[in-house]
Amino acid sequence: MTHLPPDNLANSAADAACTSCMENMDAYALDALDVDEIDSVVAHLDACPACREELARAREVVNLLPFAVDPFSPPPAVKAGLMVKVAAGERPEDASPVLFANPWRTTGGDTPPATGGT
């Protein structure tokens, strides 16, 4: 059996992880992964700057898709209701950093990080 040198083994494993991540990158950027697929992508992105760069490139395109829709303005009552809620006591949260916040996950209702200009 042929054994690769340790460095090559490590590189091979990294390449395989990148390949696996890349296969799901576009779906991740489009928010089209199933929940059980997200964790492995997020874990790899945490450790791989090259794949994060690829994700940023995919999101640059995805971020333009909302502009393809027909334009409509919400009725005035929406704004009025919003401002009533604000006046009733909604306040900006403290700006202290959020511990353990995952910067790559975009599903689950958490507010996403601003992306696209990295």
Identify the CA nearest to 52 among candidates 104, 110, 108, 106.
Answer: 104
Paired tokens of 111: 């507010």
Is 32 an interacting residue with respect to another protein (CB under 8 A)? yes
Is 72 an interacting residue with respect to another protein (CB under 8 A)? yes
Least distance (Å) between residue 113 CB and another protein: 7
Give the interface segment with another protein, choosing from 8-16, 29-37, 41-49 (CB under 8 A).
Answer: 29-37
Amino acid in position 113: P
Identify the CA nearest to 20 among candidates 4, 2, 43.
Answer: 43
Residue found under tokens 């992306």: 115
List of residues contacting another protein (CB under 8 A): 23-24, 26-27, 29-34, 57-58, 60-75, 77-79, 81-83, 85-87, 90-95, 106-118
